[in-house]
């Protein structure tokens, strides 16, 4: 029993750390990517497998909760496509398509319904600057919601490949299921080889913790 509690404790912490911080929503060919997003009103746990340098297939489980306690849960199969990449001498820019299809349940309607979640992400990154914008629409038969995100960040200094690199990131995110307001969250990001960790808190003091692992 003690070991069972320990196992679930570790599992809970691990899942809580997962978040779709989105440097890139997929890894390299034949790699697995685990992502998640944990905040008060939105949680997502997702993983995918890159079958080519441009395509990845995976699963996503997400939950949203409004300030009025409206709840929605989604379970989806997700396809990620690198639509375009520009590799420059000192920078990289990408356009990504992310599309999910699955079922949604909630406390404002009976049973489960079909949901789709098409989205687009654009990003630009150098070793010192990071800019990202994304939008994703969750179109259930009943409830429809969208998540719009803008991120801007800078690294404190350049590092060698095998050294951890700290970044300061500011995110503006609007989840219209939760609120019409943009939520501003400053975060500290640390990248080190296979690991990508972000933590911070929004202007209301609600914590945010992100983690990505690529293998």
Based on CB atoms, which residue is closest to another protein, 52 or 181? Answer: 52
Q: What are phi and psi of 11, to 5 degrees?
A: -60, -45
What's the helix, strand, coil split of the chain in %, to 5? 5, 60, 30
For residues 191 and 168, is the Cβ–Cβ distance under 8 A?
no
> Phi first, then psi: what are they for 13, rounded to 5°?
-65, -45
Q: 30 or 181: whose CB is closer to another protein?
A: 30
CB 32 within 8 A of CB 214: yes
- CB of residue 22 to another protein, shortest distance in Å: 12
Question: Is residue 121 within 8 Å of residue 158, measured between CB atoms?
Answer: no
CB closer to another protein out of 94 and 117: 94
Q: Of 68 and 160, which has the nearer Cβ to another protein? A: 160
Q: How far is the CB of 177 from another protein (least distance, A)?
A: 30
> Measured on CA atoms in the order 57, 45, 21, 136, is the torsion positive or negative?
positive
Q: Which residue has the tokens 């409830």?
A: 143
Minimum distance between the CB of residue 168 and another protein, rounded to whole angstroms? 15
- What is the smallest separation between the CB atom of 80 and another protein, expressed in angstroms? 13
The distance of closest approach from Cβ of residue 94 to another protein in the complex, given in angstroms and rounded to an integer, is 9
CB nearer to another protein: give 42 or 213: 213
Residues lying near another protein in the complex (CB under 8 A)? 23-24, 27-31, 52-53, 82, 85-92, 125-127, 158-162, 165, 191-196, 212, 214
Torsion sign, CA atoms 67, 69, 70, 76:
positive
* 3 state DSSP class of 23: coil
Cβ-in-10-Å burial (0-12, 13-18, 19+) of 15 comes to middle
Q: How far is the CB of 91 from another protein (least distance, A)?
A: 6
When the beta carbons of 138 and 196 are compared against another protein, the nearer one is: 196
CA dist 39 → 55, 59, 159 (Å): 28, 20, 30
């Amino acid at each position: 029993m003690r070991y069972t509690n320990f196992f679930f404790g570790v599992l809970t912490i691990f899942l809580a750390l997962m978040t779709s911080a989105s440097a890139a929503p997929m890894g390299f060919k034949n790699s697995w990517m685990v992502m998640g997003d944990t905040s008060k009103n939105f949680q997502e746990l997702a993983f995918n497998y890159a079958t080519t340098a441009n395509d990845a297939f995976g699963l996503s489980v997400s939950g949203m909760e409004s300030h009025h306690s409206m709840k929605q849960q989604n379970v989806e199969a997700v396809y990620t496509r690198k639509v375009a990449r520009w590799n420059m001498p000192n920078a990289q820019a990408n356009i990504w398509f992310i599309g999910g299809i699955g079922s949604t349940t909630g406390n404002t309607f009976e049973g489960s319904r079909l949901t789709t979640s098409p989205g687009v992400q654009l990003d630009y990154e150098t070793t010192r600057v990071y800019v990202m914008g994304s939008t994703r629409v969750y179109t259930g038969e009943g409830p429809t919601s969208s998540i719009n995100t803008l991120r801007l960040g800078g690294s404190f200094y350049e590092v060698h490949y095998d050294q951890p690199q700290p970044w300061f990131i500011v995110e503006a995110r609007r989840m219209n299921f939760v609120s019409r307001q943009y939520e501003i969250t400053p975060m500290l990001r640390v990248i080190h080889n296979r690991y990508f960790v972000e933590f911070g808190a929004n202007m209301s003091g609600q914590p945010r913790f992100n983690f990505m692992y690529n293998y």
